[in-house]
Chain A
């Protein structure tokens, strides 16, 4: 079933004298339960695309539909409500509140939904179990490793059962071991709980965990490959091939 439909969107920056087309006519769809990665070099427009989908930024032209509803038309309160109820965010720099413990950080996402304390505890324990962070629930962000922080942030993103999880370079600040662990969790969430995940990354290794990779270059869709029945390693080498063609920095693809 089609969950997200991006329809001919454009995003311009700057003024008449110097116009930058960050996104230049992009269209694609994401089905429910898909794990999509969006790849591209720095400045290719992939983060702008994510910001537009997440309603943090506004498109210059075109429409974005989530469950058939045009989210580019949302304003003010309903925008916040949409963000709160339909989306889950995972950021490169975690964006945890440094004054709260892991438990409280996760609970905050639910309390702003008005979920009762009773329900909260059970849910947090369950998601902590899935992401392997039971031990750090009582800790503050500064007492955790980067990987733990990102898993707490992921827990916060998925605990409200959002329709779409948006991840912006989630492994950007992690070492390779933590990255691997986090990505395995993403796969697990995707396969077991049918969570729809859209991940922006410039790292081929991260992208190889996805079911489909969309390549963006100069604000346009350059290519798209589907993993199908390939193993992760085969898919990884396919991604590397495209990246080489794309002219991206090969050293990015470890």
Chain B
């Protein structure tokens, strides 16, 4: 009997439940899709290193899943509590008819179970379909072969999804039970007669708060978006807290005064049914200042996460061919101190000491040294601008010596890289640098032709700005600066590091993969017997960098999407529930409007404005936040190249439009449906 009532309740309040159910289904399917990635990719033909990356991706995603589960749990508990509050009157009727609290609990238990099982079933079904699409995305990311692909269902992921969601529903049941035991009949009965609470906030206080919040926000913006170079961790955290607090205060103060301000504009306020519309809006935003703040911040995080993660991924993939023009690079520190076990005057020597030949399976190679003059520190190279630069970049290691190499060595490297050689006149220097922040600083210094002293030789800059170049293989623009000097400047000086850069033999008995494996083995062995002379030993291979970059890119992209989806769904669901319940409460008012002869078109327009403001208010502030946030992110993204930033912002806009916009449209349509009864 109770079960029957439960079923009937669900059917009857399907309008209230629809958006809740819809959200649950999306939650379940997102959860399934992201946890099924590793199973889905089992069918793809990936090699070992790519498989390792998938493993790492899986690890990252399962940790993130816990976070996502917490967010979803909070959302579900919030939504179910919200729906329950709307049913107080119904519970009161049950109780006056003699139904015990235990029976009401049991009835709610049935309801939750029915909705839970249904949402899991539909969600998993949908998720299985979506994860096939996801496989194609993964295959594309790893440029894998999809011909052997078959339809897949991940039992593991399904089990995990069921487990997590069962826990969430259990939490809902427990909390509902607690709420019911605490309910008093008298409160339930009176809950229908809600006294129209008109917030009467002090206008003066609101205005002061608003101004203060705007100033605080502007300060935080300035710090984060424009003066990021002077920002340390502490002040960044401070700015984030300040930003969040001022977001709340802006919503609080605006919702408090906006109605009064509009009421002063009599022409607008008393036109058509504007008075009614504005009152409705004011009452909604007044009761959800806190939710709006949370929603605004969540949208902000979503936009920035998706945009940055995709920007990093896209730029990295684009950069990699440019920044890795050779197959392998090894280097170590030069130690000529004979009193130590044994000196090691070059990387070749180091290989020989370990019993290897560095030239094995190498077709073309180049060897060279870099130097460091302990008198030419970063501080010294700044010349007269040091104090000025210290102000904007206080955290730079100013006492580190600059890296110096000869022009002929550099040209030999360029020859191997297949790039143009450079020319350098006597008595001059060139700086090779592609790390944006350092490039800016160095350009500023060189613009006024600042001379430097290398091993006692005065050198003038040949160009007024840094040249784009590097000697170390990497996935991103992280060369902070190399001074190219005429050959005779470093004559008879002690070299600091020894480099070996080479290309693998193409037409040998061994494949590239085998050569790569041999190189890695050797390096591991040399590192294992860590003798004194192996200090600073580093190996980079093109294959490794490429693999890591793709893997990191994929992980970032998935994380961005995962968190972004869940956040947007949560925001949309909260706003939607609030707007729909407002429509249900307002049904009577719309009837009155119809009775006094208001056109249906005017009513629809009013509803559209109400729903629009509800969704747009948090979004608009979030967009402003994001503009500043992306400025800050750009600063970091510059390392990876910023070509893809606009494209990524476009992508996050599309995702935002589809999910958030989708919720908006659904909300408006169902609200319209509710009030037209």
Contacts and interface: CB of A to CB of B under 8 A. Distances in A.
B285 to A, nearest CB: 13
Interface string B195-222: 1101000000000000000000000000
Interface string A102-114: 0010011101101
Nearest to B598: A112
A114 B275 CA distance: 13
A87 B596 CA distance: 9
A112 B273 contact: yes
B276 to A, nearest CB: 6
Contacts of A98: 196, 589
Nearest to B593: A97
Contact of B272 (A89, A91, A112, A142): A112
Nearest to A98: B196
B596 A109 contact: yes
A56 B597 CA distance: 10
B599 interface: yes
Interface stretch (B13-21, B93-101, B135-143, B263-271): B263-271
B168 to A, nearest CB: 36
A95 interface: yes
A140 B598 CA distance: 21
B45 interface: no
B259 to A, nearest CB: 11
A78 to B, nearest CB: 11
The listed residue with most B CB atoms (<10 A of its CB), out of A109, A120, A142, is: A142
Interface in B265-317: 266-267, 270-276, 279-280, 283
Nearest to B280: A99
Given A100-B275, A117-B266, A140 B198 contact: yes
Contacts of B196: 98-99, 140-142
A16 interface: no
Contacts of A84: 596-598
B592 A95 contact: yes
A156 interface: yes
Given A107-B270, A117-B267, A80 B198 contact: no
Contacts of B258: none
Contacts of A140: 196, 198
Interface string B581-605: 0000000010111011111101000
A77 B271 CA distance: 20
A247 B591 CA distance: 35
A96 B196 CA distance: 13
Contacts of A21: none
Most A Cβ at <10 Å: residue of B195, B274, B592: B592
A77 to B, nearest CB: 7
Interface string A76-95: 01001101110101010001
Contacts of B592: 95-97
Contact of B599 (A80, A97, A100): A80
Contacts of A81: 597
Contact of A100 (B195, B267, B279, B591): B279
A97 B280 CA distance: 11
B195 A142 contact: yes
A156 B596 contact: yes
Contacts of B274: 111
B555 to A, nearest CB: 50
B583 to A, nearest CB: 14
Interface string A47-90: 00000000010000000000000000000010011011101010
Which of B270, B276, B595, B602 has most A Cβ within 10 Å? B270
A109 B593 CA distance: 9
Given A107-B270, A117-B266, A99 B596 contact: no
A85 B270 CA distance: 18
Given A108-B273, A112-B272, A99 B283 contact: yes
A77 B597 CA distance: 10
Interface centre among B266, B267, B597 (most CB of A within 10 A): B597
Contacts of B599: 77, 80
A107 B273 contact: no
Q: Which of B589, B592, B596, B600 lies at the interface centre, i.e. has the most chain A CB atoms within 10 A of its CB? A: B596
B595 A111 contact: no
A14 to B, nearest CB: 21
A127 B592 CA distance: 21
Contacts of B591: 95
Nearest to B267: A117
Nearest to A104: B275
Given A97-B589, A140-B198, A108 B267 contact: no
B595 A91 contact: yes
Contacts of B598: 80, 84, 112
B279 A111 contact: no
A107 B597 contact: no
Highest count of chain B CB atoms <10 Å: which of A81, A96, A97: A97
Given A98-B589, A99-B283, A111 B597 contact: no
A221 B232 CA distance: 88
A107 B599 CA distance: 16
A108 B597 contact: no
Nearest to B586: A99
Given A80-B597, A112-B602, A99 B272 contact: no
Contacts of B198: 140
A89 B266 contact: no
Contacts of A80: 597-600
Contacts of B600: 80
Nearest to B597: A84
A25 B591 CA distance: 30
Contacts of B275: 100, 104, 107-108, 111
A239 B18 CA distance: 54
A120 B267 CA distance: 11
Interface string A163-180: 000000000000000000
Contact of A111 (B195, B271, B283, B589): B271
A83 B283 CA distance: 29
A125 to B, nearest CB: 14
A89 B273 contact: no
A56 B595 contact: yes
Contacts of B597: 80-81, 83-85, 87, 112
Interface of A: 56, 77, 80-81, 83-85, 87, 89, 91, 95-100, 104, 107-109, 111-112, 114, 117, 120, 140-142, 156
Given A99-B280, A108-B273, 13 more contacts: A85-B597, A95-B591, A97-B592, A97-B593, A99-B196, A100-B276, A108-B596, A111-B271, A111-B273, A112-B272, A114-B272, A140-B198, A142-B196
Q: Which 8 A-B residue pairings sit nearest by Cβ, starting from the closest? A: A84-B597, A83-B597, A99-B279, A95-B592, A104-B275, A117-B266, A117-B270, A111-B270
6 contacts: A84-B597, A87-B597, A89-B596, A95-B592, A97-B592, A97-B593
